[in-house]
């Protein structure tokens, strides 16, 4: 599906304990790739219905990136967001930080939502940015 380059939006799923790292990811996506980001701390106002805002926003996003840390792995909303994005047939990319894929599989059944082809280490984030920049430039989801 071809989209307008300036309408490419990345939904960033994370745990509240990982807010600083999530904001750095958003900063790089916006600055390096010229894509929009949906990040709860900026895009959900106090008093909004959190769940409704999530489900209203996901359809307009081009892809979801999930920051998967020990805290995020325990947060049900991260898994709900991943599952919802998959149901909407969005690109889903997991970013491991402080975890391995085997940790997610053994403790959380991570392979049900993710597989090794769409998971990377935070150390590989530069490669993701290069790929994302190309998707944004080409206007392809």
Decide if pLDDT at 28 tops 70.
yes
Query: pTM of the predicted model, to two decimals?
Result: 0.87
Query: Residues, the chain, total?
Result: 141
pLDDT in tens, 62-89: 999 999 999 998 888 899 999 999 999 9
Question: Which CATH number fits the domain that encloses residue 41?
Answer: 3.40.50.11530
Residues 6+ apart with CB under 8 A from 26: 10, 12, 37, 39, 42
Supply the DSSP symbol for 16: G
- Domain count across the chain: 1
Domain that holds residue 80: 5-138
């Amino acid at each position: 599906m071809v989209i307008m380059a300036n309408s490419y939006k990345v939904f960033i799923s994370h745990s509240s304990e990982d807010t600083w790292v999530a904001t750095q990811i958003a900063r790089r996506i916006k600055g390096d790739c010229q894509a929009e980001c949906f990040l709860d701390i900026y895009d959900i106002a106090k008093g909004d219905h959190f769940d409704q805002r999530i489900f209203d926003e996901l359809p307009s996003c081009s892809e979801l990136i999930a920051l998967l840390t020990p805290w995020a792995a325990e947060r049900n909303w991260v898994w709900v967001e991943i599952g919802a994005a998959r149901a909407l047939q969005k690109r889903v990319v997991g970013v491991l930080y402080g975890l391995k894929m085997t940790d997610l599989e053994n403790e959380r059944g991570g392979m049900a939502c993710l597989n090794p082809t769409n998971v990377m280490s935070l150390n590989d984030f530069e490669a993701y940015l290069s790929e994302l920049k190309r998707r944004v430039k080409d206007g392809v989801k």
